[in-house]
Amino acid sequence: MASNARNAAAFLKTLAHEGRLMILCHLGSGERSVGELESLLGIRQAAVSQMLARLREEGLVSTRREGKTIFYSLATEDTSRVINLLYDIFCAE
């Protein structure tokens, strides 16, 4: 149980950053490129890339390359379920 608690705490710590959470929320509706996320979030590409690197390192997003463009998506069904739940609680009108 302690191992599960550590994993849950690490997952929640990653979600606790507003920018990373916004990226995950946008990815909840489908894959996006860095440029698309930059436009949606209104922040610089370097900042988006840094947050995506952290999310990828933590295993929350996966990538797909198409030519020079890299597309990001939620990596697991568990991540998708959590993001959808958070969206339903905090963002649904």
Q: Which amino acid appears at position 66 of this protein?
A: E
d(CA 26, CA 19): 11
| Bridge partners of residue 71, in order along the sequence | 33, 64
- pLDDT tens digits for range 16-63: 999 999 999 999 999 999 999 999 999 999 999 999 999 999 999 999
Q: Are 18 and 41 in contact (CB under 8 A)?
A: no
Mean per-residue pLDDT, 58-79: 96
**Structure confidence at residue 93 (pLDDT):** 65
Residue 1: pLDDT band (50, 70, 90) is confident
Tokens 């990596």 correspond to 75
Ordered by where they begin, the domains of the chain are 2-90 (1.10.10.10)
Mean per-residue pLDDT, 54-81: 96
